[in-house]
Structure 1
Amino acid sequence: MNILVITGSAHKKGTSSYLADSFIKGAEDSGHEVRRFDAAFKNVHPCIGCYSCQKKDQVCVFKDDMQEVNPELLKAEVVVFVSPIYYYDMNAQIKAVIDRFYANNSVLRGADKKAVLMVTYGDETEESAEGAIASYKGMVKYLKWENVGIVSAKGCYVLDDVINSEYPKLAYELGKSL
């Protein structure tokens, strides 16, 4: 199975990156092919709603690192979104990538794909993740993809918090179960 993991964290050794690593290990242990796109370390221009991608050539006006991820996105059978939550939603780096899905909307919507969301945040209540989860569920419903799991890692402010929690095991098992 082809899996695309899109991360938003600007911290290579951060909490959400650690969850992504755990998920990838589980998926690879099950024989899946995994590609990772770390949005925070890429040049991804935000969508400006110019609709050029919806015209005859269906190409985005921006020539940036979305050209690297688009072929992977189109062939992926599972798309995994991994983001820290700084302020009640997925972070800006991953959101810029998601907004740029619009250029491929006619191919992505209704495609036989599965999706996963993994988020980390320092707060101890699930309330801090509700915006990210609602956004993800709305997107998956719109795209007509199948949600196959959510790992919502509360209380994970720093790396040691996530390492000493159950969340890496949950991420690993989710990757392995696909």
Structure 2
Amino acid sequence: MDRRDFLQTAALAALGSVTAPLAAPAPGMAAGKGEKNAMKILVLTGSPRKNGNSTLLAERFMAGAVEAGHSVTRFDAAHSDVHPCIACNSCGMDGPCVFRDDFETVRGHIIPADMVVFATPMYYFGISAQLKAVIDRFYAINGRIHVPKRAALLMTYANTAPSQAAPIAAHYDVLLEYLGWSDAGRVIAPGVWTEGSVRDTPYPEQAYRLGAGLRG
């Protein structure tokens, strides 16, 4: 699929959520139980808030995934140094980037990962700029990540209209279509605005069960 086809295939997708508390793993590698079918999972978070609602969903997902025996790496885009892509094409879509920054950590984990999880708040009807910068840098590893992987979306937003969440869901869907990845589930939490307000909703449990239900 060329660049024009990639841009033209975006279409709005139907929204949905998936369905104990455990202590969430700290950022970085969390060792699972070493089961035979354990997966390597990379969780990319996009919230600048230390206790953001989407971050809480990510933590609950990670807790479930680790309990299920998987190995999880968490990369907090908003607290890392990732320069936006400048379309210089020096990488040739499959080579070193001109910027030597924290994206190298992402590169080292996403290529061997079996699953990639995107956790983001809605910022002005889109993915947070910090997470979007990481996704844009996928361009430099394009040739290495066009392989079958699973993915999941964890998303929070202040309003409640499903139509307002549709652009992020559509971005996620077309990204997976382009890369050849399969959707393993999504948790979309509306009506959460203030920091931590998602705690009083069913969505953290849904995120946890999504992680806990994964099988390699």
Normalised by the length of structure 2, the TM-score is: 0.79
- Equivalent position of 1:52 in the other structure: 90
Contact 1:116 1:148 in 2 (8 A): yes
From 57, 72, 75, the counterpart of 1:19: 57
Residue 160 of structure 1: how far off its partner (Å): 4.3
Specify the alignment match of 1:143 in structure 2.
179
CA contact (8 A) 1:6 1:94 kept: yes
- Counterpart code for 1:143: L
Identity %: 45
Equivalent residue for 2:151? 115
Checking the alignment, whether the CA contact within 8 Å between 1:6 and 1:82 is kept in structure 2 is: yes
Contact 1:5 1:36 in 2 (8 A): yes
- State the alpha-carbon separation in 1 of the partners of residues 115 and 95 from structure 2: 23
Does the 8 A contact of 1:87 with 1:128 survive in 2?
no
Amino acid paired to 1:125? A
Q: Which residue of 2 aligns with 1:161?
A: 197
Report Cα offsets for 1:74-131 as digits up to 9, x if no partner: 111000000000211111000000000011101111x120000110011011122111
Structure with greater Cα Rg:
2
Q: Structure 2 matches for 1:1-178, cutoff 5 A? A: 1-54=39-92, 58-109=95-146, 111-178=147-214
Say if 1:160 and 1:48 are closer, same or farther in 2 by CA, change over 3 A: closer
Displacement of 1:159: 3.6
Q: What's the CA shift string for 1:32-57, capped at 9, x where partnerless?
A: 100000000000000011110017x8
Instruction: Give the distance between the partners of 2:55 and 2:95, measured in 1 at CA.
Output: 32
> Aligned pairs, how many?
176
Q: CA RMSD in A?
A: 1.1
Report if aligned partners of 2:56, 2:196 keep a CA contact under 8 Å in 1. Answer: no
Contact 1:83 1:118 in 2 (8 A): yes
* Equivalent position SS for 2:127: coil
Give 5+ residue unaligned stretches, structure 1: none
Could you say which residue in structure 1 is the equivalent of 2:6?
none
**TM-aligned CA deviation for residue 161 of structure 1:** 2.6
Paired residue type of 2:100? K
Is this contact kept in 1: 2:52–2:196, CA < 8 A?
Answer: no
